[in-house]
Amino acid sequence: MDESYAAVDLGSNSFHMIVANLVDGNLQVIDRLKEMVRLASGLNDQQELSEESTQQALECLQRFGQRIKEIPHVNVRAVGTNTLREAKNGHVFLSQAHLALGHPIEIIAGREEARLIYSGVAHSLYDEDSQRLVIDIGGGSTEVIIGRKFDTYCTESLYMGCVNVGQRFFEDGKIKAKRMRKAMLFAMQELESIETMYKKVGWDRALGSSGTILAIRDVVQAQGWCEAGITAAGLQQLQEALLAIGDSALIDFAGLPDRRKPVFASGVAILSGIFEVLNLDKIEVSEGALREGLLYDLIGRVHNEDIRDQTITALGQRYNADIDQANRVRVTAEQLFHQVKNDWELDEKADLKLLVWGALIHEIGLSVAHNQYHRHGAYLTANSDLAGFSRQDQAKLAMLVRSHRRKFPLEEFAQINNAQKVSVTRLCVLLRLAVVVHRSRSTRDLPMIRISVNKNRINLDFPSDWFDDHPLTRVDLSTEQGFLDAADFNLIFD
């Protein structure tokens, strides 16, 4: 039976949606939708989205939502990029967007955006072993990636896009030589910090993806300046043609949509700066981009090939976590979860994954210092680049690490979405209990611990006489009773 999937990309310039069927392990795209919302131009000086841009975005998402209404919820993923990372009132927009689309919107970090873009490009290529440079110029940021096959070596997201650079250098639409050079120099300055490293790593072929680069490719080829891809000479001719035209409103290149004209010159300036800094003679153009990468990532999750599992393993190794202890805590946490999941209305997949990841990395803060290591661990979790994780999931995971010992930090749960606060709090309780019973770090197997819950009342049942041989665990659980009581949980054990 065919499975349908959908990926939605809320970019700073355009919103995209791709719908595909998975047929015998192969992806068949059945629909693509794109609307130029230009969300980035709706940010005011206080970095807040205007009512007008918000309304336009929500209307687009309602249309997208209608198209994917029949697709299973677990088979849809929607992400927001640079503008929603920057927007101070983004949380208000996200709740409205959830209602409009019918699905939650995840905010992804710049490097995660870069990884997904590379994945989308890599899945559209057939060469097996070349090292690739991938460039993606969006509305609010530009991603530059080096990778081979499906693995990335360098991922960077730079704060320059066709919308924000256009607002800065071409706000009135006038295209002058001085402005073009200033915009190019701005792009070159952004690239300065990565130039040496990228050239050292090197690449065999360079590719561009997404709307800005596709539009430039279409124009230079329609004008006969390039036969394939985009060449440095063709880009130079395009730049000269834009300067001769002198005004974005007067641009009349065949195949260039009217809505792209206001941001076209800034896109050309950014790409010209990249060509100059990285000494590029030519780039090929890929049809794959962020939404395709998102789609393949989503299918991997549904079919238990989740890159987040690899990310957590790597994080534990990076900070020298005691893997044996982490796994002991994980096993017990899983056992407790399965006994209470129905009564506590926990999700078999999403919530259990979060709990397992929390158990595996709960001690990474020890790499900083033993004192307050749960705080150090939470900071590392919240602020590391974690491949596959949205900002929201990273915040929840950091909360598990922060809350696994000592005082229950209820005031810090304010950053968690209200709808998810109850489940995250309950996962924290399960992780705490698993940590407490393994505090001795003994390699001996624990007996079967029975747990039952009724709202915030928790009963733990140990084999009779077990505490006679484990008096310290009894004391530890008594201490935990006090911590949980302050968080309005009633722990009873015998």
Dump pLDDT digits (tens) for 286-310: 999 999 999 999 999 988 889 999 9
Is the model's pLDDT at 24 over the cut of 80? no
State the pLDDT at residue 414: 74
Average pLDDT value for the chain = 95
Angle CA 77–83–87, to nearest 5? 105
To the question of pTM greater than 0.85 for the whole model, the response is: yes
Tokens of 14: 């355009």
State the pLDDT at residue 126: 77
Q: Quick count: other Cβ atoms within 10 Å of Cβ 374?
A: 22
List all residues 6 or more positions away from 394 whose beta carbon is below 8 Å from its beta carbon. 381, 382, 386
State the pLDDT at residue 283: 98
Is the model's pLDDT at 312 over the cut of 90? yes
Helix (H) or strand (E) holding 493: strand 490-493
> How far, in Å, CA of 112 to CA of 157, rounded?
9
Which CATH code for domain 125-286? 3.30.420.150
- Cα separations in angstroms, 223 against 235, 262, 266, 285, 425: 11, 20, 19, 17, 60
Is the model's pLDDT at 1 over the cut of 60? no
Please state the CATH superfamily assignment of the domain spanning residues 3-109+293-298 in this structure: ATPase, nucleotide binding domain (3.30.420.40)
Residue % of the chain over a pLDDT of 70: 99
Q: What does the pLDDT look like over 233-262, one tens digit per residue?
A: 999 999 999 999 999 999 999 889 999 999
> Do 3-109+293-298 and 125-286 show the same overall fold?
yes
State the pLDDT at residue 417: 77
On whether the CB atoms of residues 32 and 17 are closer than 8 A, the answer is yes
State the pLDDT at residue 264: 97
DSSP-based three-state secondary structure for 306: coil
Closest CA to 326 of 290, 293, 350, 355: 355
> How far, in Å, CA of 235 to CA of 242, rounded?
11
Q: What is the mean pLDDT of residues 317-331?
A: 97
> How far, in Å, CA of 472 to CA of 453, rounded?
24
**128-132, 276-280, 376-380, 403-407: least confidently modelled range:** 128-132
Read off the pLDDT band of 212 (50, 70, 90): very high
Q: Greatest CA span in the chain, whole angstroms?
A: 90
Please state the CATH superfamily assignment of the domain spanning residues 306-493 in this structure: Hypothetical protein af1432 (1.10.3210.10)
Is the model's pLDDT at 2 over the cut of 70? no
List all residues 6 or more positions away from 82 whose beta carbon is below 8 Å from its beta carbon. 12, 40, 110, 113, 138, 139, 140, 141, 157, 159, 161
The upper half-sphere exposure of residue 271, i.e. CA atoms within 13 Å in the direction of its Cβ, equals: 39
Displacement of CA 160 from its chain's centroid (Å): 19
Question: What phi, psi does 184 have (nearest 5°)?
Answer: -65, -45
Tokens of 425: 């709090």
| Residue 358, amino acid | G
Tokens of 463: 């084999």
State the pLDDT at residue 122: 94
Q: What does the pLDDT look like over 441-489, one tens digit per residue?
A: 999 999 999 999 999 999 999 998 999 999 999 999 999 999 999 999 9
Q: What does the pLDDT look like over 57-107, one tens digit per residue?
A: 999 999 999 999 999 999 999 999 999 999 999 999 999 999 999 999 999
Helix (H) or strand (E) holding 286: strand 282-286
Distance linking the first and last C-alpha atoms of the chain: 50
> How far, in Å, CA of 386 to CA of 313, rounded?
11
Q: What does the pLDDT look like over 338-363, one tens digit per residue?
A: 999 999 999 999 999 999 999 999 99
Q: What does the pLDDT look like over 126-179, one tens digit per residue?
A: 767 899 999 999 999 999 999 999 999 999 999 999 999 999 999 999 999 999
**Boundaries of every domain in the chain:** 3-109+293-298, 125-286, 306-493
Tokens of 86: 């920057």
